[in-house]
Amino acid sequence: MKKMMLFIAVAIFALSCKETTTTQQTTTTTSTPEVTKTPEKSYPPSIDAVFKAHGGIDTWNTMNALSFTLQKEGGDELHTVDLKSRKVTVETDKYTIGFDGEKVWIAQDSTYFPPQRARFYHNLMFYFYAMPFVLADDGITYSEVPALEFEGVSYPGTKISFGAGVGDAPDDEYILYRNPTTHQMAWLAYTVTYGKNEKSDRFSYIKYDQWTAVNGVQLPSVLQWYKVEDGQPTTLASERTFTDATASAKALDASQFEIPEGAVIAE
């Protein structure tokens, strides 16, 4: 984020003292050093309203670490994320996937998780879980789109696109649909282009309507994927439950993300 310089003018004040026969005036000049101040990033009113409904982007930006458990039939996953560097580990009792800031790796004593899928998966659930706040990232373009009509409710929508070279799949597109009354996030429509050479117009839909307060911000406790017909969500297909969430201003130890001995680098 670009920084702007705020120049603070020099303040001059005078001290005067009177005596019976002589008046002496002393002028003292003091100057303050230049102060660098980071400007606030502005967002479209629609997105800003969503952030506020979830605790505020300023509150989110004070956090350095996030963790949550994703419940799965084959074994729960503990996701731990450095929110500033986006380093991550996904730990289970059979394998661990990690990102050290440069390389995605996987450590396992057998092929429980396909190594070729590790790069795609390492931050996937974090990105869905940390909605709507990850939609404040740099390199994003916002545009308003027609509302989603579902079961008699009209959900206003904002489309999110990424600049070239942003992330592993800059051609991905997202549409955030918000509750018209509370402004909380209600749906996410998204495309998947990872590993492809072109954009997709096929949107999947996740319903967001169950939230948990985590250190001042609202994060999802359940995500529901819906079947899609003619580009619209229809009926519930599957869901994921998240537990034991923590968000903290305390920075994580860098060793959390180091590549362990014997790990395989995911290409």
Mind listing the pLDDT tens digit for each residue in 51-60? 999 999 999 9
Q: Which residue has the tokens 């297909």?
A: 237
What is d(CA 43, CA 179) in angstroms, rounded to the nearest whole number?
18
Instruction: Check residue 196 and give its pLDDT.
Output: 52
CATH number for the domain running over 45-266: 2.50.20
- In this predicted structure, the answer to whether residue 35 has a pLDDT above a threshold of 90 is no
Closest CA to 224 of 215, 216, 233, 214: 233
Mind listing the pLDDT tens digit for each residue in 162-202? 765 444 545 679 999 999 999 999 999 999 765 555 566 78
Q: Are 105 and 262 in contact (CB under 8 A)?
A: no
3-state secondary structure of 152: coil
3-state secondary structure of 263: coil
Closest CA to 60 of 124, 131, 127, 122: 131
The percent helix, strand, coil of the chain (3-state, each to 5) is 15, 45, 40
Q: How confident is the model at residue 113 (pLDDT cuts 50, 70, 90)?
A: very high
What is d(CA 192, CA 203) in angstroms, rounded to the nearest whole number?
8
| Omega cis (within 30) before 180 | no
- In this predicted structure, the answer to whether residue 13 has a pLDDT above a threshold of 50 is no
What is d(CA 56, CA 54) in angstroms, rounded to the nearest whole number?
6
User: Positive or negative CA dihedral for 142, 146, 151, 152?
Assistant: positive
Closest CA to 172 of 136, 143, 152, 196: 196
What is d(CA 11, CA 191) in angstroms, rounded to the nearest whole number?
56
Mind listing the pLDDT tens digit for each residue in 116-162? 999 999 999 999 999 999 999 988 999 999 999 999 999 999 999 87
| Pair of tokens at residue 34 | 């230049």
Domain ranges of the chain: 4-37, 45-266
Q: What predicted TM-score, i.e. pTM, was given to this entire model?
A: 0.81
- In this predicted structure, the answer to whether residue 218 has a pLDDT above a threshold of 60 is yes
How many helices (H) and strands (E) are present in the chain, helices listed first? 4, 17
Q: Determine the residue type at 44.
A: P
pLDDT (average), residues 235-239: 98
Q: Are 69 and 253 in contact (CB under 8 A)?
A: no
